[in-house]
Amino acid sequence: MGEIYDKVYKESIDNPEKFWAEASTKVHWYNKWDRVLDVVDGHYRWFVGGTMNTCYNAVDLHIENGHGDDIAIIYDSPVTNTKKTYTYNELRDRVAKTAGMLSSHGVVKGNRVIIYMPMIPEAAIAMLACARIGAIHSVVFGGFAAHELATRIDDARPKVVMSASCGVEVSKVINYKPLLDEAIEQSTYKPVKCFIHQREEAVADLVEGRDFDWAEEEAKSELAACVPVDAIDPLYILYTSGTTGKPKGVIRSNGGHSVAMKWSMDNIYNARAGDVFWAASDVGWVVGHSYIVYAPLMNGCSTIIYEGKPVRTPDAGAFWRVCEEYKVNVLFSAPTAFRAIRKEDPEAEFLKQYDLSSVKNIFMAGERCDTATYEWTKSVTGKEVIDHWWQTETGWAIAANPTGLDPMTVHAGSPTKPMPGFNLQALDADGKQCEPGVLGNLVLKLPLPPSCLMGIWEDEARYQNSYLKFYEGYYLTGDSGYIDKDGYVWVMGRMDGVINVAGHRLSTGEMEEIAGTHPDVAEAAVIGVDDELKGESPMGFVVLKSGANRDHAEVVAELVQLIRKQIGPVAAFKIATVVQRLPKTRSGKILRGTMRSIADGKEWNMPSTIEDESVLPEMTEAINALGYPKPKNKDI
């Protein structure tokens, strides 16, 4: 165990061009590339000179190979009580006609198209249609506020926008069209046309001359053929979540993306043609791009588009119902989804109603997977739970357990080892490599492997300053952590998640991990707050499991002792409180930075990606009850 991995990983680092040239043979090319890798001013361009088409690789290729009647997309919407499947033949026809619709309205190779959609098949169809004709899509999370959509319109300057009349969140209908209208009103740049998919839950009014009924236009359009594009042509722009001010648009290329997606499906997820792959995320995030739409379809899998939640649609058995009904082979979601299920159903009573025998593995990513969530999920499902770590910027896993190549021993809290092409290191503040087990800044020694960002859309300075100038010759991940003596990676959180308490560097992620082991705690968040004596002090927030009717002060006292016992008095963990819920983004990430700003009495703006704005007043009240922010120049 590990010998195959060691050999493959070493080859990818020592001879990346040879390694990725071999991997590229799994992709269909119209013309083979001239050079595997070309480096220009910190930009890593893979398969230069090659021409291909991402949509062809994801759809048409399977039809030509005789698999047109296989199921490509399974749509399951508990919020609208809708279920539907698309074969590869059916998907190809819808995509080709939608691409024809775009072409008939003047969209050509290189034009940008913003896609502002809920979790419905048309979202994936729009993405594939753009890829089919070489247009560059930029998916904006459905229901984003008008201002945030406007900033992305101004940055991407799309020729057209593709949207839906509404989305549905549990039992609430979110009207998208008024948000889109307001965004276009606010934006300096004006899209020429908008295509609106009308949903029966809310039919939108169309602006004459600008807005078109998607279904009507698609129905009268011709089937469009795939357009060959250069491997280094952009496939899409994706704006990173949590962006304030000018958005940061990550650019992904066609060729390198396709090669990495294929490699990851075979070797990380062990998902083969005919398997059912379910990434329970949203197409608005990078997970949705990579593992709802592109990678599963490229590998001939059936992918699930799920318009629902892990709980409340209708209950905490929602995930298990989908797994049984569609015989899911690989399940992939964020730890926050499983924490939500655990909070509502700590004894996993709902799970007992369903058969998970088809599931091979459960993957988690999107945030650090705490040990408590890992252990609970593994215990109640009986499945191997695999944490893996990656970013919007990389597009696929930096570190993972390669279950299709050489499965390794899982260590709770670790995303296992670096994947081929990712030369991962932990460096100290002076740029020196940390000893095994020593906390540092996690970086990637250049070059970056295929599918990593080509740059930031029309902002070269930001690309260089954000990623390449912190340590010369390295890409800065922005995460802190360490690599142990066995080569396992331990990601402890963002670099600003390392706090300095009286000269001691401590990980708030480690404190969260310990707090999560308390039998009454469903989830925890620890932030660093200003301390005039110690520099910083940790402040903890915990959500209790359903049915944990404990005295809050007793729970906090137990947490203080628990962290003191495992880290020591140096942790100085004394400030904590029980809350009903934590502020999170729509993708499930805890808004620790905003919580810290509240605690430190600093100005803060409502995050554009927040799931529920009403939670921050609750958090402010909880922080105030702790006596924060502290008056300046007073003893603490």
The 10 Å Cβ neighbour count of residue 62 is 24
Q: How many Å apart are CA 203 and CA 210, to the nearest integer?
A: 17
Predicted local distance difference test score (pLDDT) of residue 225? 98
Instruction: Tell me the torsion sign for CA atoms 586, 145, 172, 76.
Output: negative
Predicted local distance difference test score (pLDDT) of residue 294? 98
Q: Examine residue 319 and state whether it is found in any structural domain, yes or no.
A: no
Q: Examine residue 392 and state whether it is found in any structural domain, yes or no.
A: yes
Predicted local distance difference test score (pLDDT) of residue 243? 35
Q: Examine residue 177 and state whether it is found in any structural domain, yes or no.
A: yes
Domain shared by 285 and 223, yes or no: yes
Q: What is the pTM of this model?
A: 0.85
Instruction: Tell me the torsion sign for CA atoms 82, 85, 90, 92.
Output: positive
CB-based contact 152:188 (threshold 8 Å): no
Domain shared by 186 and 44, yes or no: yes
Domain shared by 512 and 475, yes or no: no
Domain shared by 224 and 108, yes or no: yes
Q: Examine residue 589 and state whether it is found in any structural domain, yes or no.
A: yes
Query: Which token pair is 426?
Result: 């932990």
Q: Examine residue 333 and state whether it is found in any structural domain, yes or no.
A: no
DSSP string computed for 382-427: -SEEEE-EE-TTTSSEEEE--TTT------TT---EEPTT-EEEEE
Domain shared by 514 and 425, yes or no: no
Last residue of a domain, one of 446, 481, 516: 481
- CATH code, domain carrying 238: 3.40.50.12780
Contacts of 7 (CB under 8 A, 6+ apart): none
Residue 252: closest CA among 234, 239, 232, 229: 234
Predicted local distance difference test score (pLDDT) of residue 129? 98
Mean pLDDT by 10 residues, the chain (636 residues): 92 98 98 94 92 98 98 98 98 98 98 98 98 97 84 96 96 94 96 97 97 98 98 96 64 98 98 98 94 98 97 97 98 91 95 98 88 94 97 96 97 96 94 93 96 95 92 93 96 73 71 91 92 82 93 95 82 92 85 90 84 91 92 49
Predicted local distance difference test score (pLDDT) of residue 84? 98
Q: Examine residue 254 and state whether it is found in any structural domain, yes or no.
A: yes
Domain shared by 542 and 417, yes or no: no
- N- to C-terminal Cα distance for the chain? 52
DSSP string computed for 427-469: E-TTSPBPPTT--EEEEEESSPPTTS--EETT-HHHHIIIIIS
Domain shared by 448 and 546, yes or no: no
Domain shared by 415 and 559, yes or no: no
Predicted local distance difference test score (pLDDT) of residue 234? 98
Strand partners for 516 = none
- CATH code, domain carrying 556: 3.30.300.30
DSSP string computed for 474-521: EEEEEEEEEE-TTS-EEEEEEGGGEEEETTEEEEHHHHHHHHTTSTTE
Predicted local distance difference test score (pLDDT) of residue 636? 35
Domain shared by 523 and 467, yes or no: no
Last residue of a domain, one of 481, 515, 534: 481
Strand partners for 491 = 481
Domain shared by 424 and 528, yes or no: no
Provide the residue range defining the domain that includes 404: 3-308+388-481
Contacts of 270 (CB under 8 A, 6+ apart): 330, 360, 361, 403, 404
How many separate domains does the chain show? 2
Domain shared by 459 and 598, yes or no: no
Last residue of a domain, one of 481, 513, 531: 481
Predicted local distance difference test score (pLDDT) of residue 633? 47
Domain shared by 506 and 421, yes or no: no
CA distances from 303 to 185, 322, 613 (A): 36, 12, 32
